[in-house]
């Protein structure tokens, strides 16, 4: 009999009927899973639920065989397909009652994130979840996992699966795309990143059109991987830069893809960041990750009464008060005196009053895509930085642009970034400045594209104390959606970097309303409310 705690995990959010036992003493995880394979098309919720009903008892029996005692039952409360969640939830409740042990309700996406942290032993990593119905970057701050960036439409796996349905390949499509991509060459597809958010629908339409127009399917598969995974690697890199974390973990079924793992590994190596991808059995949906997080929650006393254990198909990771982790020290209070800084995109060299920003090639990206992005961005950054200044928004003076070398030289501004002063008494007034600067830009038909708390420079004194920098993801647009996305990106970065994001967010919105368009705030609410489980 184990001297530790033994937790039975149950997973049934979509396709995997899975049970697992986790023993905290040995750290061993045994998993038994039964996958639902649709006869045709994608996952049918009713059929998937039927599969849960049939398969869960057998996988539970399988892992319980030979077990001495169970201390708790942990199950996925969501997100997932409602009919599946309900059946798996009913099974978990019945087991907890019959074994007379506590029930633990686990957020499936946090389990995807935590299993990497657990297996790696990392302390406070950024987590990239690349799964079927989700794609997001998470970082822990102030008792919560904050969503620093996420898909604005479908999850990455679902996007890939929809493409393979279009070409009549059977479900799941991800592994088939990976195989076909081995014989492919690069063909251009749209690339869509705003701040740390991204979207796949435009890319998928373009990919479908490309095969319909006769582009080799291998080339489309190759380019789909190169494009969508480069986007994920880029947002992960932005999140590492924003949080100054030196650790990245990967989670989710698409995380099994070797090309994605290689790209992330290469990106991290270039930054001096440790990267960890759990074994495949912990990446795809599995009850092992539910049991492991369940054990941590149980140890923190975070159990749930059966009567309160309703499932939630739209359960977001940032809804969960995190009981099982200590708050980690944040060190970005100090002001950097270094003269070379590694941003997410560029190497920044500070030489007195001049700042030279070099967008060096990123070896993880396909060279054609890499060159296109660097060139486009240096040109846009120079133009938008100057145009914003003309509109009265404080930005650095542009001193030199070298398109061929993708280098930009600008004036040095501010004494620190906004991130470093957010929690001080100047924080609120700087956040208000950002709001009015963004509103001014929006009125002038400009979106910043990446207004995070690191892309705002703050001076100790003077009239124009708050400068916006780093316009590389910006564009000229009158679309209220783009303006609202700027606000969304800024608010997400507040959540990821401020001790009290709520009051700063209020200050931001009040100040924005004084100058900006009401439609933007309305759209901001719509963006936040978009169901991400599709």
Ligand X SMILES: C[C@@H](O)[C@H](NC(=O)OP(=O)(O)OC[C@H]1O[C@@H](n2cnc3c(N)ncnc32)[C@H](O)[C@@H]1O)C(=O)O
Lay out the site mask for ligand ATP across 461-500 (x = CB under 6 A, - = otherwise).
--------xx-x----------------------------
Handedness of CA 154, 156, 157, 163 (dihedral sign): positive
Among 417, 433, 482, 491, binds ligand ATP (CB under 6 A): 417
Smallest gap from residue 530 Cβ to ligand ATP (A): 25
Backbone angles phi, psi at 26, to 5 degrees: -90, -15
Smallest gap from residue 417 Cβ to ligand ATP (A): 5
Q: Please pick, among 450, 470, 482, 486, the residue that the annotation labels catalytic.
A: 450
Among 81, 104, 346, 441, binds ligand ATP (CB under 6 A): 346
Q: How far apart are the first and last CA of the chain?
A: 43
Smallest gap from residue 69 Cβ to Fe ion (A): 29
Tokens linked to 388: 């914003």
Tokens linked to 198: 């991204």
Lay out the site mask for ligand ATP across 220-239 (x = CB under 6 A, - = otherwise).
------------------x-
Sequence-distant (≥ 6) Cβ neighbours of residue 294 within 8 angstroms: 7, 9, 22, 72, 73, 74, 75, 104, 106
Smallest gap from residue 31 Cβ to ligand X (A): 13
Sequence-distant (≥ 6) Cβ neighbours of residue 29 within 8 angstroms: 20, 21, 22, 282, 288, 291, 292
Does 437 interact with ligand ATP (rule: CB under 6 A)?
A: no
Lay out the site mask for Fe ion across 226-265 (x = CB under 5 A, - = otherwise).
----------------------------------------
Does 379 interact with ligand ATP (rule: CB under 6 A)?
A: no
Tokens linked to 20: 């697992």
Smallest gap from residue 469 Cβ to ligand ATP (A): 5
Most distant CA pair in the chain, distance: 73
Catalytic, 519? Answer no
Does 246 interact with ligand ATP (rule: CB under 6 A)?
A: no
Taking CB under 5 A as the binding criterion, the range among 87-95, 173-181, 284-292, 398-406 that sits at the site for Fe ion is 284-292
Lay out the site mask for ligand ATP across 502-531 (x = CB under 6 A, - = otherwise).
------------------------------
Task: For residue 98, count CB atoms less than 10 angstroms from its CB and return exposed for 0-12, middle for 13-18, buried for 19 or more.
Answer: exposed
Q: Which of residues 115-134 bind Fe ion (CB under 5 A)?
A: 131
**Strand duo 398-402 + 354-358: pairing:** unpaired
Among 141, 176, 454, 488, binds ligand ATP (CB under 6 A): 454
Q: What angle do CA 525, 528, 533 make, to 5 degrees?
A: 140
Smallest gap from residue 252 Cβ to Fe ion (A): 6
Is residue 523 within 8 Å of 509, Cβ to Cβ?
Answer: no
Q: Between residues 11 and 417, which has the closer beta carbon with respect to Fe ion?
A: 11
What dihedral do alpha carbons 401, 406, 409, 415 form, nearest 10°? 140
Please report which helix (H) or strand (E) contains residue 347, including its range.
Answer: strand 347-351
Footprint of ligand ATP (CB under 6 A)? 238, 241, 341, 343-346, 348, 355, 357, 396, 410, 412-414, 417, 454-455, 457, 469-470, 472
By annotation, the residues acting in catalysis are: 450
């Amino acid at each position: 009999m184990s001297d530790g705690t033994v937790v039975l995990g149950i997973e049934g959010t979509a396709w995997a009927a899975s049970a697992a036992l986790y023993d905290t003493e040995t750290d061993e995880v045994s998993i038994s899973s039964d996958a639902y394979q649709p006869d045709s098309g994608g996952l049918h919720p009713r059929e998937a639920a039927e599969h849960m009903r049939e398969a869960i008892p057998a996988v539970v029996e399988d892992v319980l065989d030979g077990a001495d005692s169970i201390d708790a039952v942990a199950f996925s409360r969501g997100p997932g397909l409602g009919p599946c969640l309900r059946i798996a939830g009913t099974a978990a409740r019945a087991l907890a009652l019959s074994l007379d042990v506590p029930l633990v309700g686990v957020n499936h996406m946090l389990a995807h994130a935590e299993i990497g942290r657990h297996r790696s032993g990392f302390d406070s990593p950024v987590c990239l979840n690349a799964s079927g119905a989700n794609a997001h970057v998470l970082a822990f701050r102030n008792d919560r996992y904050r969503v620093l960036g996420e898909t604005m439409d479908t999850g990455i796996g679902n996007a890939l699966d929809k493409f393979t349905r279009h070409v009549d390949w059977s479900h799941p499509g991800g592994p088939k795309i990976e195989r076909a991509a081995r014989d492919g060459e690069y063909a251009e597809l749209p690339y869509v990143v705003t701040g740390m958010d991204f979207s796949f629908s435009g890319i998928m339409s373009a990919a479908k059109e490309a095969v319909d127009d006769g582009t080799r399917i291998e080339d489309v598969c190759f380019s789909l991987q190169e494009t969508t995974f480069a986007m994920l690697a880029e947002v992960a890199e932005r999140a590492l830069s924003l949080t100054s974390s030196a650790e990245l973990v990967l989670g989710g079924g698409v995380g099994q893809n070797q090309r994605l793992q290689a790209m992330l590994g290469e990106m991290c190596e270039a930054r001096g960041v440790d990267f960890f991808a759990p074994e495949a059995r912990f990446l795809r949906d599995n009850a092992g990750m539910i049991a492991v997080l369940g054990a941590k929650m149980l140890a923190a006393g975070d159990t749930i009464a059966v009567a309160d254990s309703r499932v939630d198909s739209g359960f977001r990771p940032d809804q969960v008060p995190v009981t099982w982790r200590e708050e980690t020290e944040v060190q970005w209070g100090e002001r950097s005196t270094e003269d070379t800084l590694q941003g997410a995109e560029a190497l920044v060299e500070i030489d007195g009053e001049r700042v030279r920003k070099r967008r060096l090639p990123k070896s993880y990206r396909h060279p054609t895509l890499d060159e296109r992005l660097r060139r486009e961005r240096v040109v846009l950054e120079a133009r938008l930085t100057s145009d914003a200044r003309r509109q009265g928004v404080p930005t650095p003076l542009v001193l030199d642009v070298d398109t061929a070398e993708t280098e930009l030289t600008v004036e040095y501004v501010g004494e620190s970034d906004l991130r470093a002063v957010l929690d001080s008494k100047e924080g609120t007034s700087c956040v208000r400045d950002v709001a009015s600067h963004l509103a001014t830009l929006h009125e002038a038909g400009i979106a910043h594209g990446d207004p995070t708390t690191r892309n705002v420079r703050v001076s100790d004194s003077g009239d124009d104390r708050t400068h916006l920098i780093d316009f590389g993801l910006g564009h000229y647009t009158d679309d209220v959606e783009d303006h609202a996305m700027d606000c969304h990106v800024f608010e997400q970065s507040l959540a990821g970097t401020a001790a009290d994001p709520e009051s700063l967010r209020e200050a931001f919105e009040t100040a924005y309303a004084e100058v900006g368009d009401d439609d933007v705030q309305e759209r901001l609410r719509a963006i936040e409310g978009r169901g991400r489980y599709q």
